[in-house]
Structure formats: structure tokens, C-alpha cells
């Protein structure tokens, strides 16, 4: 298991080839929380050696998504494309040490050998043809500029290591053979660049998805050849959908920015991705990334895959929104609503009371913002359908208006008073159920959904309630404001 009693230096190393999908975002969050929990460092590396697929636009989007998520590195961003000289230097050292050698085999021959191995049901691997070239001949051909790759000389055997999550793992070296360090272009292979980078960056724990598990054996052989200390490896399960299929960029899975566009707050997304990994204690919404880090326990990271369920993420977002301090939401509303909105004329204490009352009825900030006019504006804007429905329920609206008539204009009903009044109005009008509540809600709020009517009666002054009902009971008094009047 990962030891969090000592500071861990970790890294997140994405490729800038597309949008940051939730699977990679989960790995970033887990690494950040591990660094914060242990008092260590979180580093960011851009693995842009795939020149055909990498782009500056994708990198910019990636960095924006991480910043929005709150995943910020504790040092400069490292880019592999700026470290080619370093990779070539280390590769040449391995050649000089006799741990690596140049391979002059043409690509068409190698491709034919790979195809033959696959046809025989074997793992493709280099047969070591150039490994036994006399050193003087090999160096002379290199100096002459003959195209070549550099390969690690891998001894037959088995690589055994203990993964902090998966336990003991064994990989025979025959599964990959002498693998490439530097391509003929001078660019490094993935496994070689990763080892040199992690070594130079001082990474002590590599926490990543289990799809990288098979790379670990190659990387451990490289650490051994370089005489460098290997980090601890921990491979978590993958993020999958409800059908058990892996989420990936190429399959069009939900991305971080798509979650942002859907209104999911960054802290909620971070908590959800960490929680479905089994490593977050408690179910209450987090108050900050620091709060998440305190609750993070890497020993509880599960071996199996984590199932992503959009409805669970949305449920957590609703719980987190409703757990917010009304005072904070009042400040957001102050900034979000236009200067002429009636909200700004309410006393501060009344604003706080109003938000606290509406909060349990709203799933997110935009819902709160759009619900407020029901209470703060003199009258809603009615659709043509709302006008027709309300006009068709004169008995219901008149019964409620009659019961409100003797009450003080500035009074607000308690839930018990509102319930009693509504029951009396149902008895008077001879109407109940949807036939009673639906037109009454439309007349009072302009919409067929929203807060409970008992709450509406408690938030809107009696005078305003009477005014809205009178628009329909006494239609010549004033025409109701419509936004889509149609015949």
C-alpha cells in the first residue's frame, strides 16, 4: 500500500491529443489528493512525443480543464518535446554501458516478423538480430549515419514487482524482448521517456490506470539498467460505464468540459471521481479540495473498475448545492442579477431568508435564479396556455382570493395557515387535486412546476397574491403579462 506518512512526489502525465475525459481526470484527482494528503508534491508533465496526434490547441484545452477542476501543479509544467537532448544523452550512456545497442533492421523486416508472430499466436518481439553485432562495427555504422534505433538489451527471465493496489505481479521478459529506447528519428519511445522524466522529476509514487500495468516491467528494467531508484507503482482500476465498457476519448466519453457545460461544479466532479474509487471517507459534500485530501485514504483504492453513473454525479451536485451557505448564494445572486431586478431592493435579511427557503426546492444555481422572480417580481410572465388555464378556473381562484381578502396586505402565511386556507378554498370551490392546484399554481407563479404552494404563500405577501389572482378573477382590472400569447 502507499505510505502517506512520508511526502509523496507524484505526477499526472496526459497526452495533448484531445479533450480531457473523465477517466484521465480521475487519475489526476487521485494523484493530487495523494500529494496533498501526504504533504508531498503534485507535478504535471505533457507527453507530446506523438507529433502526429499532439496539438497546441489540445494542450490549451487540457490545461484549462485541469485549472477549472482545481488541479494545479506544484512546479513548472514539463514537456517531453523540449527534452529530446536529455533522452538522447541517457540513451547513449546506456549504449556506452553495454546495456543498450543500435538496431539497423529495416522497418519492413520488423513488420514481417511481427505479422508472423501474431499469425503463430505469439507476442510480437524483436529477435535480437543486431544485439550480437561486434561493437566496433555497430559504432562505425552509427557514426556513418546509417538509420538505426536504440534498444535495451533485455536478459531472459521474469520481472517481479509488488503493485501497491494489485499486489504481486510477474511479467516474463519474453513478452516484449529488446524494446526500443530511441527511434530512428531521435525521438524517444514512451517507456524510455517516462522513466527518464520520472527519474529527473524525483517522482516517488506512480499512481495510474491499470492499462499501464504491462508497461511497468519494461520501466523497472530501465531503472535497473540506469542504476536509478524506482518509484512505487500503484495501478487503479479503470473508469467504466454501467455496461462495464471503458470510458475513453476515442469512444466519445463525457469530458471534463462537457461536465462543466452541464453545470457540474468542479469540486463536485472531483469528489465524485475520487469517491467511486473507494478512497473518500464519508458521503457528505466536500467543502474544498483540502477537505477531500483530509478524507482521502489510498489504502482503500479498489482493485476493480469504478462505475461512472451520471445520475449519481447529478445527485451529488444537487446535495452539494443545497448544502451551501445562503449568504454565499446571496452574493452570487447580487452579481448575477441585472441592476434593475427587484432582488436588489430587498433588505439583506429578507434576501437571506428567501434563499434559505428556496434552497431545498432548487437543484442548482440557475434553478434558484429562475425561481426568484416568482417571489420578487410583482407578477410572473404568463404563457398563453397559462392564461387560458387560469381563466378556466374562476371558481378556484375566486375562492382563494375571497379567503385572502380580509388579511393584512403585508402578511405572509405560515405553512399551517396556508394549508388551512387551501383546504377551505377546495371546499368552497368544490374542486380538488390537480383541477385545484394546477390553475392556482399557474396564476400565482406562471409555471406548472416549482416550490410547494404552501411555501409560495409563505414567501409572497398577501397583497401580491391578491394582485396576481385578481388579474384573472377581475380580468378588466389589468391584463396579465404574457410572453407568448397565441390564438
Looking at the annotation, which residues are catalytic?
249
Q: Are 166 and 203 in contact (CB under 8 A)?
A: no
CB 316 within 8 A of CB 272: yes
CA distance 18 to 178: 31
Q: What is the dihedral angle through the alpha carbons of 330, 333, 339, 342, rounded to the nearest 10 degrees?
A: -70
How many angstroms from the chain centroid is the CA of residue 327?
27
How buried is 208 (Cβ within 10 angstroms: 0-12 exposed, 13-18 middle, 19+ buried)?
buried
Q: How far apart are the first and last CA of the chain?
A: 71
Angle between helices 348-358 and 365-376 (to 10 degrees): 120
Going from the C-alpha of 185 to that of each of 108, 137, 153, 189, the distances in angstroms are 16, 21, 20, 11
Q: How large is the angle between the packed helices 22-38 and 266-275, nearest 10 degrees?
A: 90
CA 200 – CA 194 distance, rounded (Å): 10
Determine contact, residues 194/15, Cβ cutoff 8 Å: no
Under a CB-based contact definition with an 8 Å cutoff, are residues 148 and 131 in contact? no
Instruction: Kindly give, in sequence order, each residue whose CB lies less than 8 Å from that of residue 302, ignoring residues fewer than 6 positions away.
Output: 165, 236, 237, 277, 278
Half-sphere exposure of 330 (CA within 13 A, CB side): 18
Q: Which of 237, 247, 250 shows the shortest CA–CA distance to 276?
A: 237
Amino acid at each position: 500500500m502507499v505510505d502517506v506518512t512520508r511526502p509523496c512526489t507524484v505526477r499526472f502525465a496526459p497526452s495533448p491529443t484531445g479533450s480531457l475525459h473523465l477517466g484521465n481526470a480521475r487519475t489526476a484527482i487521485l494523484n493530487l489528493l495523494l500529494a496533498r494528503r501526504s504533504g508531498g508534491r503534485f507535478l504535471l508533465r505533457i507527453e507530446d512525443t506523438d507529433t502526429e496526434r499532439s496539438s497546441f490547441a489540445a494542450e490549451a484545452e487540457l490545461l484549462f480543464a485541469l485549472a477549472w477542476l482545481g488541479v494545479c501543479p506544484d512546479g513548472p509544467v514539463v514537456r517531453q518535446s523540449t527534452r529530446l537532448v536529455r533522452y538522447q544523452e541517457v540513451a547513449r550512456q546506456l549504449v556506452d554501458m553495454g546495456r543498450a545497442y543500435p538496431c539497423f533492421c529495416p522497418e519492413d523486416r520488423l513488420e514481417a516478423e511481427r505479422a508472423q508472430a501474431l499469425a503463430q499466436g505469439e507476442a510480437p518481439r524483436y529477435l535480437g538480430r543486431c544485439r550480437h553485432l561486434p561493437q566496433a562495427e555497430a559504432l562505425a555504422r552509427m557514426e556513418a549515419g546509417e538509420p538505426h534505433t536504440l534498444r535495451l538489451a533485455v536478459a531472459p527471465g521474469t520481472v517481479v514487482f509488488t503493485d501497491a493496489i494489485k499486489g504481486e505481479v510477474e511479467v516474463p521478459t519474453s513478452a516484449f524482448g529488446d524494446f526500443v529506447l530511441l527511434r530512428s528519428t531521435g525521438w524517444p519511445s514512451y517507456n524510455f521517456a517516462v522513466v527518464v522524466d520520472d527519474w529527473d522529476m524525483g517522482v516517488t509514487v506512480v499512481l495510474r490506470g491499470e492499462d499501464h500495468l504491462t508497461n511497468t516491467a519494461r520501466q523497472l528494467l530501465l531503472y535497473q539498467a540506469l542504476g536509478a531508484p524506482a518509484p512505487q507503482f500503484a495501478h487503479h482500476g479503470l473508469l467504466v460505464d454501467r455496461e462495464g465498457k471503458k470510458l475513453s476519448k476515442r469512444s466519445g466519453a463525457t469530458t471534463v468540459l462537457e461536465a462543466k457545460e452541464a453545470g457540474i461544479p468542479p469540486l463536485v466532479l472531483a469528489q465524485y471521481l475520487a469517491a467511486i474509487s473507494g478512497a473518500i471517507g464519508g458521503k457528505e459534500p466536500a467543502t474544498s479540495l483540502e477537505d477531500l485530501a483530509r478524507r482521502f485514504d489510498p489504502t482503500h483504492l479498489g482493485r476493480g473498475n469504478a462505475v461512472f453513473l451520471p445520475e449519481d454525479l447529478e445527485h451529488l451536485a444537487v446535495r452539494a448545492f443545497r448544502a451551501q451557505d445562503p449568504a454565499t448564494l446571496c452574493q452570487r445572486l447580487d452579481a448575477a442579477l441585472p441592476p434593475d431586478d427587484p432582488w436588489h431592493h430587498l433588505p439583506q435579511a429578507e434576501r437571506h431568508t428567501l434563499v434559505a427557503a428556496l434552497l431545498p426546492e432548487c437543484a442548482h444555481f440557475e434553478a434558484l435564479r429562475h425561481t426568484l422572480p416568482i417571489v420578487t417580481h410583482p407578477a410572473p410572465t404568463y404563457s398563453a396556455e397559462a392564461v387560458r388555464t387560469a381563466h378556466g378556473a374562476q371558481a378556484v381562484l375566486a375562492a382563494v382570493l375571497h379567503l385572502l381578502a380580509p388579511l393584512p396586505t403585508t402578511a405572509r402565511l405560515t405553512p399551517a395557515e396556508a394549508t388551512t386556507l387551501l383546504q377551505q378554498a377546495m371546499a368552497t370551490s368544490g374542486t380538488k387535486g390537480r383541477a385545484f392546484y394546477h390553475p392556482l399554481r399557474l396564476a400565482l407563479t406562471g409555471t406548472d412546476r416549482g416550490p410547494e404552494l404552501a411555501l409560495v404563500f409563505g414567501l409572497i405577501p398577501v397583497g401580491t397574491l391578491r394582485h396576481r389572482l385578481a388579474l384573472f378573477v377581475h380580468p378588466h382590472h389589468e391584463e396579465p403579462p404574457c410572453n407568448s400569447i397565441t390564438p
